[in-house]
Amino acid sequence: MKGFFKSTAFKVVVIVSMGIGIIMLCTSFSPERNVFAEALSRTVLPFQKSVQSIINVSTDFYYQFKRKEELAQEIDSLKSEISELRDKIIDYNEIKRENARFAKYYDFKKENNTLKFVPASVVGVDSTGYFQSFTIDKGSDSGISKNDIVITENGAIGCVCAVNAVCSKVKSILSPEVKIGAADIETSESGVISGNTQIAQKNLTRMTFIPAQNSMKAGDIIATTGMSGMYPKNLKIGKVKSIEYDDHESSHYAVIEPFETLKTVRDVFIITDFQGKGSMVIS
């Protein structure tokens, strides 16, 4: 478009228009009727109209093109602003989540002042298994050790199974490899929390080695016993969903529904120390 205004054709149109304008200007001020001027005007007028029409169209097109350029620049500017706002929203939500995480940390600390624990975030999930194993962003540099129990504000969810300086791997209570001493807080009947492949996908685990004659029932709350000295006492785990019988092992077990949905866990606490750690409790 800019090349048109520099072209020879445009220059010719301008020169002709200027010539016509000068002729008409010179003849229009004659006090007497000028036959030549009238004839020239009648001859030139249609051409002048055509030229003026071309100029009007060209001018309109130029300003439309100019406006499109301005709009394109405005759109690019708005896209940049939107991108910046999105980044700010992400940062804001991350800060908000971090604040909420530490608020839970301090609330939990007030309620459990004998425990020492470290807050951490889930940074990776093992998608190949059924047991919701995951990786957290804290390791031995933060005081975490293998076998430390991992909890949320809703209860115990697993144990640390591997540690390096900056991160740790956690096996959840849905895994058969995790063994946690637990008891029904209503009946005091105890057993061992250990996962099972058939029910892990339903976010369920089992409490095995329960007494054959037991009083446990659906809805009872299950918590850690603390008897081994490996884990603190009275950490909530879940509630009894049903009491079943294993024909293969000829024993009863309780199906336990954890208080936490393992698939949705994003923030956890790792208990690094507690009163009585390492001491076997004999009841």
From the list 197, 189, 143, the residue with the least C-alpha distance to 166 is: 143
Note the pLDDT tens digit of each residue in 54-81: 666 666 666 666 677 777 787 878 887 8
Cβ atoms of 207 and 228 closer than 8 Å: no
CA distances, 209 to each of 130, 179, 249, 256 (Å) = 23, 12, 10, 13
Position 57 scores a pLDDT of 64
Q: Where are the domains of the chain?
A: 4-74, 116-273
What residues contact residue 78 under an 8 Å CB cut-off, 6+ apart? none
Cβ atoms of 193 and 178 closer than 8 Å: yes
Amino acid letter for position 102 = F
> What's the CATH fold of domain 116-273?
Thrombin, subunit H (2.40.10)
The dihedrals phi and psi of 70, each to the nearest 5 degrees, come to -65, -40
- Output the pTM of the full model: 0.64
How far apart CA 147 and CA 170 sit, in angstroms, is: 9
Q: Is the dihedral of CA 133, 136, 139, 144 positive or negative?
A: negative
Note the pLDDT tens digit of each residue in 144-170: 999 999 999 899 999 999 999 999 999
Q: Is the dihedral of CA 208, 212, 218, 222 positive or negative?
A: negative
Note the pLDDT tens digit of each residue in 130-140: 778 999 999 99
Cβ atoms of 226 and 276 closer than 8 Å: yes
